């Protein structure tokens, strides 16, 4: 081989070996650039150079920051990702009579005692964490492992009966597609989602949903409501919340031990949950459309502006080592006095399931940590494109130090290489979906139709 061939070979090998280190960050930068170009820069970001973090709560809770969807391009994208039926999703409809009716159903479903919540979770969750499933150790994707638990849990909460394997598959396929599309790891799969709508219509027609539904909603609208709030939001949010918790703990074996040895120390559990939701808030951006002008410092934010509340940014201001997972910090600082708001602001449509979710998170942690130790070396970001790769080790199995190091190294290398193709597919899928959402304009056309219908009724 002559020198030239050897140099080309050498450069090619170097290119390939270093690919996982420079390609994914480059693709992320390109993705943000393209998304902004295609989608346009819309909205006033809070906090930002213009509006500081101390204004976050005041502006969020302002009476005029009350528009939910109408009038923002961003809504077209959210409605696209949450289709079908974003117009029936409690989170996305405008304040008014229909909103109140829908919110009252959610409230009724979530009004069960703490004891009932825990009993149902024990039934639906414990079998997955049973030692019969994993006798020694196993590499898993936390999201794939945990999501079926929430499918079974919310199915039984809604319909009052156990979820069959076939029904579980229908719901799981839908929820997995929503979460994958939201993270641009897959395209939106409408046929799969429509199967769930049809399935829920059948359930409602069979009288399986026992709660009163005020108002004049059709069966299809009711099905879309259930699909959006419980078989999308509830399952996706609880899955992500637990993936973040276990993945963060998988890098702090000392805290895992502490939690197992001090089961009754509620403070320990609270600190882990608080810190998880601070560092990995489940909402990236929540937006509102102003119904009137708002005064911010010396500036006038005019009516019809889109306010974008940036949770990850807000949750990093005012903390020592803000990017580190340090549950112990909550021994000396308080949630009320910190820049911390994982469930939104009470006066402006905060999460109706905040207490409910915290009980579930605590109980799931306790079930999981009782059976397994969690280890991981993968990258942990808020959007979790790697679905949280993790090694589950049965408490009854002794993993030697050598084996642990070998497994963690394997996981790290696998994660680096996975990032190469995941980041490229995220770029591609994200671009396609943003263009598609821009074309469909689901929110804009829905409100145009609404206005047209109203004009026809009251000439
Ligand atoms: C740890 C888990 C969860 C977190 C961190 C979370 C977080 C949030 C946040 C930040 C908001 C407010 C967004 C905004 O201001 O626009 C919200 C709203 C909402 N969440 Fe959750 N959520 C969680 C679990 C759940 C669950 C389990 C359900 C369903 C049972 C749920 C249903 C809703 C609904 C329906 C809304 C809209 C409320 C309204 O507009 O009236 N969430 N959530």
CA of 353 to the centre of ligand 1 (A): 6
Among left, alpha and beta (phi > 0; psi -120 to 50; other), residue 286 is beta
- Which token pair is 439? 């074309």
Q: What is the pLDDT of residues 73-129, one digit of tens each?
A: 889 999 999 999 999 999 999 999 999 999 999 999 999 999 999 999 999 998 888
Range name among 10-24, 189-203, 304-318, 320-334 with the lowest pLDDT average: 10-24
Mean pLDDT, residues 156-171: 96
Q: How far apart are CA 65 and CA 293, in angstroms?
A: 9
Range name among 74-83, 177-186, 224-233, 417-426 with the lowest pLDDT average: 417-426
pLDDT band at 289 (very low <50, low <70, confident <90, very high): very high
Q: How far apart are CA 162 and CA 146, in angstroms?
A: 17
In this predicted structure, what is the pLDDT of residue 2?
78
CA of 352 to the centre of ligand 1 (A): 6
CA of 416 to the centre of ligand 1 (A): 32
pLDDT band at 215 (very low <50, low <70, confident <90, very high): confident
CA of 374 to the centre of ligand 1 (A): 27
User: With the C-alpha atoms ordered 65, 67, 73, 77, is the resulting torsion angle positive or negative?
Assistant: positive
Q: Indicate if the pLDDT at residue 131 is higher than 80.
A: no
Q: What is the pLDDT of residues 310-352, one digit of tens each?
A: 999 999 999 999 999 999 999 999 999 999 999 999 999 999 9
Nearest C-alpha neighbor of 236 from the set 374, 362, 123, 143: 143
**In the β-sheet with 137-141, what is the strand arrangement from edge to edge?**
137-141, 389-394, 372-375
In this predicted structure, what is the pLDDT of residue 296?
80
Mean pLDDT, residues 13-35: 74
CA of 248 to the centre of ligand 1 (A): 22
C-alpha pair distances (Å), 53 with each of 23, 49, 60, 161, 325: 33, 10, 11, 46, 21
In this predicted structure, what is the pLDDT of residue 181?
95
| Integer Rg of the chain from CA | 23
CA of 266 to the centre of ligand 1 (A): 23
CA of 22 to the centre of ligand 1 (A): 36
In this predicted structure, what is the pLDDT of residue 128?
87
Ligand 1 closest atom vs CA 281: 5
In this predicted structure, what is the pLDDT of residue 20?
76
63-93 burial, b if ≥16 CB within 10 A, otherwise e?
A: ebbebbbbbbbbbbbbbbbbbbbbbbbbbbb
Q: Any residues with Cβ below 6 Å from ligand 1, and which?
A: 90-91, 103, 106, 229-230, 233-234, 237-238, 241, 277, 282-283, 286, 342-344, 349-353, 357
Q: What is the pLDDT of residues 359-415, one digit of tens each?
A: 999 999 999 999 999 999 999 999 899 999 999 999 989 999 999 999 999 999 999
For residue 45, list its beta bridge partners.
308
Q: Indicate if the pLDDT at residue 40 is higher than 80.
A: no
CATH number 1.10.630.10 given to 43-457 = yes
Q: Of 178, 315, 351, which is best to mutate to test ligand 1, by the most ligand atoms within 8 angstroms of its C-beta?
A: 351
Ligand 1 closest atom vs CA 358: 1
Minimal-distance CA residue to ligand 1 atom 4: 343
Minimal-distance CA residue to ligand 1 atom 21: 351
pLDDT band at 135 (very low <50, low <70, confident <90, very high): confident
Minimal-distance CA residue to ligand 1 atom 22: 351
Q: What is the pLDDT of residues 41-65, one digit of tens each?
A: 678 889 988 888 999 999 999 999 9
CA of 158 to the centre of ligand 1 (A): 17
Q: Of 107, 235, 237, which is best to mutate to test ligand 1, by the most ligand atoms within 8 angstroms of its C-beta?
A: 237
- Which token pair is 98? 């229909």
pTM of the model: 0.94
Q: Of 100, 353, 363, 365, which is best to mutate to test ligand 1, by the most ligand atoms within 8 angstroms of its C-beta?
A: 353
């Amino acid at each position: 081989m002559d020198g030239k061939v050897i140099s080309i070979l050498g450069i090619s090998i170097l290119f390939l070996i270093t690919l996982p280190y420079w390609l994914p960050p480059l693709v992320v930068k390109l993705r943000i650039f393209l998304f902004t170009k295609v989608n346009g820069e819309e909205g006033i970001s809070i906090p930002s150079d213009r509006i500081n973090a101390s204004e976050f709560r005041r502006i969020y809770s302002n009476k005029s920051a009350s528009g939910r969807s109408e009038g923002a391009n961003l809504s077209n994208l959210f409605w696209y990702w949450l289709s079908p039926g974003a117009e029936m999703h409690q989170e996305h409809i405008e304040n008014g009579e229909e909103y109140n009716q829908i919110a009252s159903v959610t409230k009724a479903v979530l009004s069960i005692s703490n004891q009932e919540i825990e009993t149902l979770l024990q039934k639906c969750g414990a079998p997955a964490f049973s030692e019969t499933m994993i006798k020694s150790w196993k590499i898993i994707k936390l999201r794939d492992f945990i999501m079926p638990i929430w499918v079974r849990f919310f199915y039984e909460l809604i319909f009052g009966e156990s979820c069959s394997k076939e029904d579980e598959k229908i719901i799981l396929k839908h929820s997995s597609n929503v979460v994958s599309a939201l993270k641009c790891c897959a395209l939106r799969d409408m046929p799969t989602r429509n199967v769930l709508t049809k399935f829920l219509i059948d359930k409602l027609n069979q009288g399986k949903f026992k709660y009163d539904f005020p108002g004049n909603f059709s069966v299809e609208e009711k099905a879309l409501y259930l699909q959006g709030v419980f078989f999308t939001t509830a399952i996706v949010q609880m899955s992500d919340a637990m993936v973040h918790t276990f993945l963060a703990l998988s890098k702090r074996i000392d805290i895992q031990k502490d939690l197992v040895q001090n089961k009754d120390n509620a403070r320990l559990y609270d600190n882990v949950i608080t810190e998880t939701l601070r560092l990995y808030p489940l909402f990236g951006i929540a937006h509102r459309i102003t119904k009137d002008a708002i005064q911010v410092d010396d500036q006038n934010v005019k009516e019809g502006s889109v306010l974008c509340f940036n949770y990850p940014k807000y949750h990093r201001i005012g903390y020592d080592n803000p990017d580190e997972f340090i549950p112990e910090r909550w021994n000396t600082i308080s949630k009320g006095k910190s820049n911390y708001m994982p469930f939104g602001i009470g006066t402006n449509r905060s999460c109706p399931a905040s207490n409910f979710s915290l009980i579930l998170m605590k109980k799931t942690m306790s079930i999981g940590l009782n059976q397994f130790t969690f280890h991981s070396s993968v990258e942990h970001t808020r959007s979790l494109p790697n679905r949280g790769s993790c090694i589950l080790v049965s408490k009854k199995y002794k993993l030697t130090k050598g084996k642990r190091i070998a497994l963690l190294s394997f996981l790290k290398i696998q994660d680096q290489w996975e990032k190469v193709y995941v980041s490229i597919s995220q770029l591609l899928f994200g671009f396609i979906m943003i263009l598609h959402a821009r074309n469909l304009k689901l929110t804009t056309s829905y409100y145009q139709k609404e206005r047209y219908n109203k004009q026809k009724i009251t000439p």
